[in-house]
Amino acid sequence: MINYTNEEIFSVRFKNLSKSFGEAKILYDLNFGIHRGKITTILGFSGAGKTTLMKLILGLILPTEGEVIVLDTVINKIGELELREFRRNFGMVFQYAALFDFLTSFENVAFPLREFTKMSEEEIKEKVLSLLDSTGISIEAAYRLPSELSGGMRKRVGLARGLALDPHIMLYDEPTSGLDPITTHVVYDLMRDTHRRNEHRGFTSIIISHDIHATLKYSDYIVFMEKGRVVEHLDVESFKKSENPVIRRFLEL
Amino acid sequence: MLAFFEKRITNLGETVMDLLNGLGSFTNFTLRTIFWTFKPPFRFKLLFDQIYFMGNKSIFIIFLTSSFTGMVFAIQIYLGFKAINTDSFIGPLVAIAMAKELAPVLTGLVVAGRCGAAMAAQIGSMKVTEQIDALEVMGINSYQYLAVPRILGAMISMPMLSAIFLIVGYGGSWVIGVKLLQIDPILYTQKISDLMRLGMVAEGLIKATVFGYLIGIIGTYQGFRVEGGAEGVGKGTNMAVVWGMITVLVVDYFLTSFLAKIL
C-alpha cells in the first residue's frame, strides 16, 4: 500500500475530495496522491469519475468537499486570475487533440509561447520546430491545418503544444482513443520518451485511460477507480498481482 | 381530471424554471463578458479580424440589400405621393426613413443572419471539439478570447455598415426617382437639408451600435451553450439567428420610443 503521509513525493494530492453535480454524486471522499516524476494512469470503466477527477486537477471545476493540492497549492482555494496563471504548470493532450482548427500545426504549438512568453519570433520558430521534430512531425506537416493531418499526427502536435511551456504536469485524456493499435503504441512510446526526457525536473505524467494493456506496459503507477471511488492505487507490478475481483475482471478483458 | 391539471401545472412550472435558468445563465454570461472586456490583455488583432470579417466581408450583401431597398422604397412612395402631388418629398422621406429605421434595422437583420450565425457556429464547433477547454487549460479566458472581440467587432462594424446602407440606399432611390420616375434631381435632394436633422442620423447610428451589441452577445452566448455534436452546433446557430433577428425588431421599438424623447 502507498504511504500518503510523505507529501513531498506527490505532485497532486486529494484530501477528503467529493464531487457532486446536483443530486448525482460522482466522486466519494478521495484521499490519495499522484507521484512526482512518475507516470500514473487513472484507470476505470466509463462513468468511474476519471474525467471529473482530471477537471478537478486542472481547476476547471470545483470540488463539493475537500481539497485538490497541486504542487503544494490548494487550487480550489485560489482566485480565478491566480488559477489561470497556475494552469501554466499543466500541459494537456485531449482525447481528440483539440487543436485550434484555424491555425496550422506550427501555429498551434507557437500559440502558448506567443501568449505567455516574451520570446522573439525567431526563438519561437526554433522552439516550435524542435518540439514538432521531437514528436515526429515533419517540417512539411508543420504548416498544414489540423484537418489535413491524421489522428495520430494530431495527437503528436497536441503533445508538442502541451509541452511548449515546459509544464510540470502533463495530462493525457484518453490519448489513444480512436487510433489503430500500431499508432496507439507509437503515441504511448512518444509519451514515455517525453516523460523520460523531462523526468529529471520532476515531470509528472497523468494518463486517463481505459486501455488496460497499454497502461500496464507504460505506467509506473495505476489508480483504479470504480463508481467514484478508488479501488486500488498500486505500482504496476503489484497491480498485475492484485486479487481484487473488480481489477481481476478488468485485467481479464 | 385532477391528473390533467396536475400535468399542465407541472409543465408550466418546468417551462418557467427553464426560462429562469436560461435568463440566469444569459445574465451570468453578459456580466462575465463585460468584466473581461476591461481586463488586459486587450486583443486588438482579434478585434480587427472580427471587424474585417463582420464589416468588410458584409459590404457586398449590404450594398445589394440597401440599393434594392432604396429603389423599391422610392417606387412605393412615388405611387402614393404622386396622387397628392407631393413627389418633391420623396427624397427627404427616403433619407429620413433610411437614417432612422431602415438602415439600422435591415443592417441588423442581415448581420444577425450572416455574422450571428457564424459566431455561434464557430464557437459552438470549438466547444464540441474541446478547443475551448484547451484555451482554458492554457490559462486563457475563453470569454475574453472568443466572445469579447466578436461583441466589440459587431458594435464597431454595425454603425459603419448602417451608414453604408443609408448612403447606398439613398443612392438607389435617387437613381429610380430621378432617372426612372423623372423627378427633378434638385427637388429630390433640396428638401433634405430642410427636413433632416443630424439627430436623425445619430439615432440610426446609436440603434446600429446597440443592435451590434445584441447580435454579438446572442451569437456568442448561443455558441458557448452548444452541447453534443453537429446537431448541437446546428441548433445553436439557428437560435442565434432567430433570437438575433427577434431581438433587433423588439428592441428597435423600445429604442425608438426612448430616443424620440432625448434626440
Helices B148-174 and B198-224, interaxial angle, to 10°? 140
Q: Which residues of A touch B139 (CB under 8 A)?
A: 84-88, 116
Q: Are residues B214 and B246 in the same domain?
A: yes
Percent of chain B whose pLDDT exceeds 90: 73
The CA angle A12-B131-A82, to the nearest 5 degrees, is 45
Rounded alpha-carbon distances, angstroms, from residue B66 to A132, A247, B51, B98: 50, 69, 20, 9
Same domain? For B32 and B92 the reply is: no
* Overall average pLDDT of the B162-179 stretch: 94
ipTM for the whole complex: 0.86
A23 touches B at CB < 8 Å: no
Least confident of A24-33, A100-109, B4-13: B4-13
At A34 the three-state DSSP class reads strand
Q: How far is Cα of residue A4 from the mean position of the Cα atoms in its chain?
A: 21
Residues B189 and B209 in one domain: yes
Res. A121: pLDDT tops 90: yes
Picking from B125, B129, B137, the nearest residue to A87 by CB comes out as: B137
pLDDT value of position A1 = 57
- Say what the pLDDT of residue B182 is: 87
Is some CB atom of chain B closer than 8 A to the CB atom of A96? yes
Residues B105, B163 within the same domain: yes
The predicted pLDDT at position A65 comes to 94
Please give the pLDDT value at position A6: 60
pLDDT above 80: residue A3: no
Contact B218, B244 (CB under 8 A): yes
% chain B with pLDDT above 70 = 100
Q: Are residues B183 and B206 in the same domain?
A: yes
Q: What is the pLDDT of residues B234-263, one digit of tens each?
A: 999 999 999 999 999 999 999 999 998 887
Q: Do B137 and A100 touch (CB under 8 A)?
A: no
The DSSP secondary-structure symbol of A87 reads G
The C-alpha cell that represents A129 in the structure block: 520546430
Sorting pLDDT into bands at 50, 70 and 90, what band is B186? Answer: confident
- Portion 34-63 of A in contact with B at CB < 8 A: 58, 60
Nearest to A83 by CA among A103, A62, A97: A62
Residue B71 and residue B22 share a domain: no
What's the CA gap between A126 and A61, in Å, rounded? 35
Residues B16 and B146 in one domain: no
Residue A191, min C-alpha distance to chain B (Å): 19
What pLDDT is stored for residue A123 in this prediction?
A: 95
Cβ-based contacts of A90 with chain B (< 8 Å): 137
pLDDT in tens, B201-221: 999 999 999 999 999 999 999
Name the residue facing A98 among B133, B140, B141 (closest C-beta).
Answer: B133
Considering the domain architecture, whether residues B32 and B122 belong to the same structural domain is answered as no
Q: Which residue of chain A has the CA closest to B127?
A: A98
What's the rounded Cα separation, in Å, for the pair A75 and A89? 12
**pLDDT band for position A7 (cuts 50, 70, 90):** low
On whether both B155 and B245 belong to a single domain, the answer is yes
pLDDT in tens, B27-45: 999 999 999 999 988 999 9
**Model pLDDT for residues A168-185, shown as the tens digit of each residue:** 999 999 888 877 888 888
For residues B151 and B139, membership in a common domain is answered with: yes
Q: Is the CB of B129 less than 8 angstroms away from the CB of A98?
A: yes
Predicted pLDDT at B3: 83
Chain B residue numbers touching A70 (CB-CB < 8 A): none
State the CB neighbour count (10 A cutoff) for residue B228. 13
Please give the pLDDT value at position A4.
61
Closest by Cα among B201, B198, B195, B212 to B251:
B212
A43 Cβ neighbours under 8 A, 6+ residues apart: A50, A209, A210, A212, A215, A222, A223, A224, A225, A250
Q: Which residue reads 446546428 in cell numbers?
A: B234
Same domain, B136 and B232: yes
Mean pLDDT, residues B151-169 taken together: 96
Q: What pLDDT, on the 0 to 100 scale, is given for residue A212?
A: 84
Q: What pLDDT digit, counting tens, does each position of B118-145 carry?
A: 999 999 999 999 999 999 999 899 999 9
* Interface contact B139-A84, CB threshold 8 A: yes
**A101 interaction partners in chain B (CB closer than 8 Å):** 125-126, 129, 131
pLDDT at B85 over 80: no
Ramachandran class of B59: left when φ > 0, alpha when ψ lies in -120 to 50, beta otherwise: alpha
Amino acid type, B231: E
End-to-end CA distance of chain B: 57
| pLDDT for the residue numbered A179 | 79
Residues spanned by the domain of B99: 41-262
CB atoms within 10 A of CB B258: 11
Say whether pLDDT at A151 is over 90: no
**B129 neighbourhood in chain A, CB within 8 Å:** 96, 98, 101
Mean pLDDT calculated for residue range A130-149: 92
Classify residue A185 as exposed, middle or buried by CB count within 10 Å of its CB (0-12, 13-18, 19+).
middle
Which of A87, A95, A99 minimises the CB distance to B138?
Answer: A87
Cβ distance B119 to B53 under 8 Å?
no
Cα separation, B53 vs B58, in Å, equals 7
A18-71 pLDDT per residue, tens? 999 988 999 999 999 999 999 999 998 888 899 899 999 999 899 999 999 999
Q: Which domains does chain A have, with CATH numbers?
A: 7-251 (3.40.50.300)
Q: What is the DSSP string of B87-122?
A: GGGHHHHHHHHIIIIIHHHHHHHHHIIIIIHHHHHH
C-alpha of B48 from chain center: 19
SS (H, E, C) B169-213: HHHHHHHHHHHHCCCCHHHHHHHHHHHCCHHHHHHHHHHHHHHHH
Q: How does pLDDT run across A213-245, given as a tens digit for each residue?
A: 888 889 999 999 999 999 989 999 998 888 888
Asked if B32 and B155 sit in the same domain, the reply is no
Confidence (pLDDT) at B258: 92
B129 contacts A96? CB cut-off 8 A: yes
CA distance B243 to chain A (A): 27
Cβ neighbors of A82 (< 8 A, separation 6 or more) are none
Question: Which pLDDT band holds residue A2 (cuts at 50, 70, 90)?
Answer: low
Cross-chain Cβ contact B130/A94 below 8 Å: yes
- Total domain count for chain B? 2
Per-residue confidence band for A5, with pLDDT thresholds at 50, 70 and 90: low
CB-based contact B138 A101, cutoff 8 Å: no
Residue A13, beta-bridge partner list: A33, A69
Q: Note the pLDDT of residue A8.
A: 66
Lowest mean pLDDT among A194-203, B2-11, B82-91, B117-126: B82-91
B190 touches B253 (CB < 8 A): no
pLDDT at B87 over 90: no
